[in-house]
Chain A
Amino acid sequence: MTTNSTSDTRQKNDLLLEMRDVRIEGFSSGRWHPIIKGIDLTLKSGEVLGLIGESGAGKSTLGLAAMGFARPGCKIVGGSIVFDGQDLAQLPESAKRHLWGTRITYVAQSAAAAFNPAHRLIEQTIEATVRAQISTSTEARKDAVALYRSLQLPEADTIGNRYPHQVSGGQLQRIMTAMAMAPRPDLIIFDEPTTALDVTTQVEVLAAMREIVASCDTAAIYITHDLAVVAQMANRIKVLRYGEEVEEADTPIMLSAPKQDYTKSLWSVRALQKPERDSMDVLLEIDHVDAAYGETPVLFDVSIVVPRGKTVAVVGESGAGKSTTARVITGWLPQSRGEVRFKGVSLPNALKSRSVQQLRQIQMIYQMADTAMNPRQTVEEIIGRPLEFYLGLKGAARERRVIELLHMIELNENFADRLPSELSGGQKQRVCIARALAAEPELIICDEVTSSLDQIVQEGILRLLMCLQEEFGITYLFITHDIATVRAIADEIVVMFQGRVIEQGTKSAVLNPPYPEYTQRLLSSVPEMDPSWLDRLLAERSRDAA
């Protein structure tokens, strides 16, 4: 194959990809809007470039454009994308196909969706390699198994014979990396490959990916919203916002001395700190609770104590039972055993048997503000309903209170007659906070309230929640999987794993040694803003194992 001979002769530091003034438009609400507004990007062979930015920054679109590909509904309207001497912006798709899957490969965000359910994994791994006649089917299979092994997949010899639904998410993501690596491409595009994974799984996948990219000396573009992750993977980092470049620098420089305010704001949550306070006055007590969804048991013997006026953070990975615990407290899911006591009084299990006052005192804020507000009610109706329902406020009194609440959440009266669709993500979450405040509750359960928001907005919301706590002495039960958020706001921490409470204690006690085994693994898996973090961690773990 001619395509391969070039890659053999290519020297490190040769210019591999050069994008100049790339502009991309997307079609929505009946017209074309710019998504990428003229970005330059260069990549040398063997180099890893991190593309970082928040949702809507256009990083995935730019990553795909590096392959000369635009999703349906998008089109490349200007600029050049020169890959190894060919301008992909001008090339017809039939010509680009000879590069895709062989010289440029792609690792998608959701491996579970990106594998065809009808074919065995190994068939999909070697598909492009065999079609391009880079190697025969037998050789390709042998190579795929070798790749599986070097990616530390269990049962490397046979795992390829399984179907996608038969292996776990972390394993699928590694197999997809093997698939991208199989033709020994010049360039791999990683599109948020670990975003859908839990932190403890993420570490293993990151390590495997970095190892194989380095050993094959492949160039890569690594797209993510997580600066700490990209710090482990990339030589150079480019920050995007609203389809434009904010800044670009080598990784160590970017981390130690970012120039732009926007870049600095990206790790603002990590800068947020709160001194821990302790309190003896117990507000809520969950006492040996079991709960199940139908036949499936979810919670086992869960006991949590929530002191008044404090923030208790419940941390754990997906499936740990954090949200289920919240649902037991609110009465949405009656427990099968145990008791929930509020101010020393046992709460009825079922929602229906609780009094209006009991309901008023515990309010809930949801992860997705989008689905937590009726899209056909105005902000005033949304905030006004609890005022009317719990406090009997009507007419002008209600309106006055709604405006007061809007000011409390740092918005103003102009927002009162807006619909949720006319608010930004952060504003939506603020309105949800106002709705909870309107009931004048003692306890607010926050279920991952910041995890679908961008960093800078997250920080604003967390600050607001802290201010409100200072002012009104509200107690929070804060459910999250993000350790940075926990560090920022918690007084106490509860660690959950597979439906059980692993430990509960003050922030300083839980975040400092000695740790129970799971807490240790969870905490150490959280990527740090230090390019050498992954190396250190791997070294530590192999030492422990030995």
Chain B
Amino acid sequence: MNNNSQAYSATAEVASVRLRRSRWDRARVTLGKAPRSAWFGMIVFAIYLFIALFAPWLAPFDETQVFVTPFASWDATHWFGTDQIGRDVLSRLIYGARNTMGIALATTLLSFAIGGSLGIMAAINRRLLDQILSRSVDVLMAIPSLIFSLMLLSIFGSSIPNLIIIIAVLDSTRVFRLTRAVAINVVVMDYVEAARLRGDGLWWIMRHEILPNITPPLIAEFGLRFCFVFLTIAALSFLGLGIQPPTADWGSMVRENANLIQFAQFDIKAGLTPLLPAGAIALLTIAVNFIVDWFLHQTSGLRDDH
């Protein structure tokens, strides 16, 4: 080329260069831009976590301690009254945070351990393993999971370990599907092909090429699955088939105190008592949903067009 005054240089090509910041700085900037709903979610979640962790110190009474008057009304000793056999409702609410959240968390973790690892394996080995796993998951998902867990609980009986295993296994089908779908999108990328052509082993590829790229959607899904598991356990407990008394748990507390609602006309506080645990469940799921929504916006880079 003659008389090209515009000297070309590769380094000068315009790219979208971000300021390089440390991880902590970046987190702070991102948090600073978080919408109000996300802040609300994070604060609520932090409070719940605090209550769950320090339940024995925060609760005025033990979760199983029985007082003389059942269905006592709200007063200075029993802020939210007592339940049908005279246990302090506030204390049970506080312990309930620990029990219900703890069990839901354990279940979700187990479900991800099962579904996640199988999902990645199926995505890499698209032949027999994928076929078998995918078909089995299709069949398992053809039965509504609440119905399936009811059936399994009727056979194995409802104890906390049974509850965790049954729900985790049923829920892992959904985790499997998502992980597999997300991982397949990554597996077909040229950089995975490049790694395989280089001769890198399966384990290295999984660890370095696939996992870092599927983590964000999986974290978001973890939040959603946690909500779903949490609601399922609450529903089962409410039906009397989940966490069994005397362990305090929000779902069963609703059921136990449900009759109080009829007295709302005479004592609005009594009418509200069964709604407290139900509200506690709802608030937590709303909070987690808000956080997940914001997180998805942050990581996917996908936006609704405006």
Residues of A in contact with B (beta carbons under 8 Å apart): 27, 72-73, 261-262, 264-265, 268, 271, 330-332, 351, 354, 356, 359, 364, 366, 368, 371-377, 385-386, 389-390, 409-412, 415, 417-418, 421-427, 430, 435, 439, 456-457, 459-460, 464
Contacts and interface: CB of A to CB of B under 8 A. Distances in A.
Given A72-B305, A73-B306, A374-B213, A426 B199 contact: no
Given A27-B306, A262-B6, A457 B20 contact: no
A187 B14 CA distance: 36
Contacts of B196: 332, 351
Contacts of B9: 410
Given A364-B194, A374-B191, A374-B209, A261 B5 contact: yes
Nearest to A426: B13
Contacts of A459: 8
B267 interface: no
A368 B20 CA distance: 25
Contacts of B193: 332
A423 B191 contact: no
Given A359-B197, A368-B190, A424 B13 contact: yes
Contacts of B305: 27, 72-73
30 contacts: A72-B305, A261-B6, A262-B6, A264-B1, A264-B4, A332-B196, A332-B197, A354-B199, A366-B194, A368-B190, A374-B212, A374-B213, A377-B212, A385-B195, A385-B198, A389-B198, A389-B200, A410-B10, A411-B10, A415-B11, A422-B15, A422-B16, A422-B17, A422-B18, A424-B13, A426-B10, A427-B10, A427-B13, A439-B198, A459-B8
B189 interface: yes
Contacts of A421: 16
Contacts of A261: 4-6
Nearest to B12: A424
**Contact-residue size bin, chain B (C-beta under 8 Å from the other chain):** 20 to 34
Interface in B170-195: 189-191, 193-195
B191 A373 contact: yes
Given A271-B1, A422-B18, A372 B194 contact: yes
A208 B16 CA distance: 41
> Which label, helix, strand, loop or mixed, suits the secondary structure of the B interface?
loop
B199 A427 contact: no
Contacts of B17: 418, 422
A55 to B, nearest CB: 13
Contacts of B189: 371-372, 374
A460 B8 contact: yes
A412 B9 CA distance: 12
Given A262-B6, A424-B14, A460-B8, A371 B197 contact: no
B12 to A, nearest CB: 10
Contacts of B10: 409-411, 426-427, 430, 460, 464
A372 B11 contact: no
B211 to A, nearest CB: 9
Interface in B1-52: 1, 4-6, 8-11, 13-18, 20
Nearest to B194: A372
Contacts of A368: 190
Given A332-B193, A426-B10, A268 B1 contact: yes
